[in-house]
A and B are shown apart, each in its own frame.
Chain A
């Protein structure tokens, strides 16, 4: 029995490590390539570890665009986007899960059905709408769509349904209004799911590419993925620069993720999907 258990543990670590290596492998390659000179990238045999590591690619990345400004833009957009998504979705989820009204189910289904719309279908009309709203070249055009995020609504409905009616009932008997019930009871009880969603939403906004590209044309408004794309020259790909840029663009989100990790784990558990 103990032998079997030990074998199981060994097997567990072997398999986990193999998968970890597979996940990490492209990143290691990215780091290695970013430290090579353009010539070393194509040496045969290839250099797994750069023989003469050089930071030139990083210097080029940082001279090509204003890093702090770009990160600042990305942060501002992603944080606003996330906050609005969470608030708006939690409100909608509360209505769907805890208020009975005509068409409740149908409307929720309509919300979910919009997840199937390919973004390309709506891109041009949405651009025209943003233009009519006078939002082109303002962060608002990138942030505002966050008020409608069916995925977040769906996750939160699941969680809110799990809140026992008695809790809400008790609060109401104590004289709390419906908004207070939402704020003091429903929201706190959804913190796990909210924190999960915070990370996924933040990530989605942080990595979004095509939409900000269309909306924000001014250089000072560039977000990280767009800045990364401008590193691709018109003619000749410089992989060391592209890899350095990729790494630089990943660092902030990795830091944020590791910081949010603990909450995130609990959130995913509690927001568990059950029928």
Chain B
């Protein structure tokens, strides 16, 4: 019997080796792993421009509402470039990165795809992405472009950008008889207003800014702190400024309770709370405009987020990247350049209210300002003066999960703020080696 078992195992082993050694050419071993230097894209491996070519483009941003907008963009593109057919795959955000990673490691990644800032560094550093060359992307905004530039090489084009502004419910401010927030506000002004609104009723809350990693690194910047030292060689998670920032955020939940705790939130989304008219203020993304315009039965507006020592606002951008193993890099570059920087794509995007195109040209963007609500759309552009970019490191997801988990314990009162940040600091040091 033993003989049989070992025979089975032996033949299985043989199969492993066979498959790894001489698999068919379904995958494209264009580069050795770990070598981030791609071949110049316009070399022999791409077909001439006038031959019909089909590429695949994977994305998650269009899922749950903008599939048709993206399709519209593609149709406009295909009119201009009839030779390039793009097969668009739209996958739900929750599963997108699982699927993508599997496909990259299996050698079947799409020719071009979308990456968020959390994953971008890992993909770029591990040689999965091709440098984007041979196309003109000078129309794109510098700040956004820089976010996807590694060692002077452009590995991604910003597909869109969005930022975060302070949304407020005018009716609740009127009821509380206090002034509307302005761009000059500090966190202290906000606290006072939040308390006045909280006093309006048991179910009414002044402010909602969850104690999550994303909000934390921004407030930290407002307090003049940061999570990493300047050259990104050392974690500084439990620095005094950071503790003060987290303390303020936690106190709003646990002490003044101007902000609902998890149980008071009851598992509904923060947007829903705002739309129900029971929340005075919240910082959230400009991608909420459409939903709020439809869902709010009260007057609301926006302004630049308040700061502390300084102002700091979020900047979110997703990159369109090219698969380093693709043999259609040129067509892929043409498509993502058109998608990110052409006037037509920008116009369709603005019309659909699907974030902002990351382009320089202000005249295209001006159409964006004309849409109301909110009346004060200018705040979107004003906020751009205070952008903070998340601290991009290779182990970004691991770091943000560790910090996020400790912060949620602090928000629930299980840990003190100091304990939470101390633990986050030591766990990050233990698990992540910074270069």
Q: Which residues of A contact B (CB under 8 A)?
A: 38-39, 41-42, 44, 64, 102-103, 106-107, 110, 123-124, 127-129, 131-132, 134, 136, 210, 213-214, 217-219, 229-237
Q: Is the CB–CB distance between A136 and B64 below 8 Å?
A: no
Interface SS of A by simple majority:
helix
Q: Could you say which residues of chain A place their CB within 8 Å of the CB of B430?
A: none
Q: Is the CB–CB distance between A136 and B93 below 8 Å?
A: no
B24 interface residue, CB < 8 Å from A?
Answer: yes
Q: Is the CB–CB distance between A103 and B1 below 8 Å?
A: yes
Q: Is the CB–CB distance between A229 and B90 below 8 Å?
A: no
Q: Is the CB–CB distance between B95 and A233 below 8 Å?
A: no
A-B pairs, top 4 by smallest CB distance, nearest first, are: A233-B64, A234-B93, A132-B23, A103-B4
Q: Is the CB–CB distance between A217 and B99 below 8 Å?
A: yes
B366 interface residue, CB < 8 Å from A?
Answer: no
Q: Which residues of B contact A (CB under 8 A)?
A: 1, 4-5, 8, 19, 23-24, 26-27, 58, 60-61, 63-65, 67, 87, 89-95, 98-99, 102-103, 105-108, 110, 203, 268-269, 271-273, 275-276, 285, 287-288, 291, 295
Task: Indicate which residue in B60, B63, B203 contacts A44 across the interface (CB closer than 8 Å).
Answer: B203
Q: Is the CB–CB distance between A213 and B99 below 8 Å?
A: yes
Task: Indicate which residue in B61, B67, B103 contacts A217 across the interface (CB closer than 8 Å).
Answer: B103
- What 5 new A-B contacts, CB under 8 Å, besides A123-B102, A132-B19, A233-B64? A102-B4, A110-B8, A210-B98, A232-B94, A235-B64
- In the complex, what distance in Å separates the CA atom of A117 from the CA atom of B26? 28
28 sampled A-B residue pairs with Cβ under 8 A:
A38-B295, A106-B1, A106-B4, A106-B5, A110-B8, A124-B102, A124-B105, A127-B105, A128-B105, A128-B106, A131-B107, A131-B108, A132-B19, A134-B26, A214-B103, A217-B91, A217-B99, A217-B103, A218-B89, A231-B64, A232-B94, A233-B63, A234-B64, A234-B93, A235-B271, A236-B269, A236-B271, A236-B291
Q: Is the CB–CB distance between B91 and A214 below 8 Å?
A: no
Nearest CB in chain A: distance from B167 CB, A? 14
- In the complex, what distance in Å separates the CA atom of A219 from the CA atom of B60? 13
- In the complex, what distance in Å separates the CA atom of A149 from the CA atom of B13? 22
Q: Could you say which residues of chain A place their CB within 8 Å of the CB of B61?
A: 234
Q: Could you say which residues of chain A place their CB within 8 Å of the CB of B91?
A: 217, 230
- In the complex, what distance in Å separates the CA atom of A237 from the CA atom of B65? 12
Q: Is the CB–CB distance between B106 and A127 below 8 Å?
A: yes
Nearest CB in chain A: distance from B326 CB, A? 15
- In the complex, what distance in Å separates the CA atom of A228 from the CA atom of B186? 43
Nearest CB in chain B: distance from A61 CB, A? 12
Task: Indicate which residue in A39, A134, A218, A234 contacts B87 across the interface (CB closer than 8 Å).
Answer: A218
Q: Is the CB–CB distance between A232 and B92 below 8 Å?
A: yes
Q: Could you say which residues of chain A place their CB within 8 Å of the CB of B276?
A: 39, 42
Q: Could you say which residues of chain A place their CB within 8 Å of the CB of B107?
A: 131
Residue of A nearest to B107 (CB): A131
Q: Is the CB–CB distance between B27 and A131 below 8 Å?
A: yes
Nearest CB in chain A: distance from B69 CB, A? 14
Q: Is the CB–CB distance between B24 and A134 below 8 Å?
A: yes
Q: Could you say which residues of chain A place their CB within 8 Å of the CB of B275?
A: 38-39
Residue of A nearest to B291 (CB): A236
Q: Could you say which residues of chain B place their CB within 8 Å of the CB of A229?
A: 92, 94-95
Q: Is the CB–CB distance between B64 and A230 below 8 Å?
A: yes
Nearest CB in chain A: distance from B402 CB, A? 22
Q: Could you say which residues of chain B place their CB within 8 Å of the CB of A106?
A: 1, 4-5
Q: Is the CB–CB distance between A235 and B287 below 8 Å?
A: yes
- In the complex, what distance in Å separates the CA atom of A234 from the CA atom of B64? 7
Q: Is the CB–CB distance between A230 and B26 below 8 Å?
A: no
Nearest CB in chain B: distance from A60 CB, A? 10
Residue of B nearest to A238 (CB): B64
Q: Could you say which residues of chain B place their CB within 8 Å of the CB of A124?
A: 102, 105-106
Residue of B nearest to A128 (CB): B106
- In the complex, what distance in Å separates the CA atom of A272 from the CA atom of B99? 40
Nearest CB in chain B: distance from A155 CB, A? 23
Decide: A38 near B4, CB < 8 A? Known: A218-B87, A229-B94, A234-B64: no
- In the complex, what distance in Å separates the CA atom of A171 from the CA atom of B40? 72
Nearest CB in chain A: distance from B190 CB, A? 23
Task: Indicate which residue in A132, A213, A214, A232 contacts B64 across the interface (CB closer than 8 Å).
Answer: A232
Q: Could you say which residues of chain B place their CB within 8 Å of the CB of A236?
A: 269, 271-272, 291
Q: Could you say which residues of chain A place their CB within 8 Å of the CB of B64?
A: 230-235
Decide: A230 near B63, CB < 8 A? Known: A217-B91, A218-B87: yes
Residue of B nearest to A130 (CB): B106
Q: Could you say which residues of chain B place their CB within 8 Å of the CB of A38?
A: 272, 275, 295
- In the complex, what distance in Å separates the CA atom of A210 from the CA atom of B103? 14
Q: Could you say which residues of chain B place their CB within 8 Å of the CB of A44?
A: 203
Q: Could you say which residues of chain A place their CB within 8 Å of the CB of B87?
A: 218
Task: Indicate which residue in B23, B92, B95, B272 contacts A42 across the interface (CB closer than 8 Å).
Answer: B272
Residue of B nearest to A231 (CB): B64
Nearest CB in chain A: distance from B5 CB, A? 7
- In the complex, what distance in Å separates the CA atom of A10 from the CA atom of B90? 55
- In the complex, what distance in Å separates the CA atom of A236 from the CA atom of B291? 9
Decide: A234 near B60, CB < 8 A? Known: A106-B4, A132-B19, A132-B24: yes
Q: Is the CB–CB distance between A39 and B295 below 8 Å?
A: yes
Task: Indicate which residue in B19, B99, B110, B273 contacts A129 across the interface (CB closer than 8 Å).
Answer: B19
Residue of A nearest to B90 (CB): A219
Q: Could you say which residues of chain B place their CB within 8 Å of the CB of A210?
A: 98
Residue of B nearest to A63 (CB): B68
Q: Could you say which residues of chain A place their CB within 8 Å of the CB of B105?
A: 124, 127-128
Residue of A nearest to B271 (CB): A236
- In the complex, what distance in Å separates the CA atom of A234 from the CA atom of B61? 8
Q: Is the CB–CB distance between B102 and A214 below 8 Å?
A: yes
- In the complex, what distance in Å separates the CA atom of A103 from the CA atom of B65? 57
- In the complex, what distance in Å separates the CA atom of A231 from the CA atom of B108? 26
Nearest CB in chain A: distance from B318 CB, A? 11
- In the complex, what distance in Å separates the CA atom of A121 from the CA atom of B65? 35
Nearest CB in chain A: distance from B36 CB, A? 22
Nearest CB in chain B: distance from A3 CB, A? 49
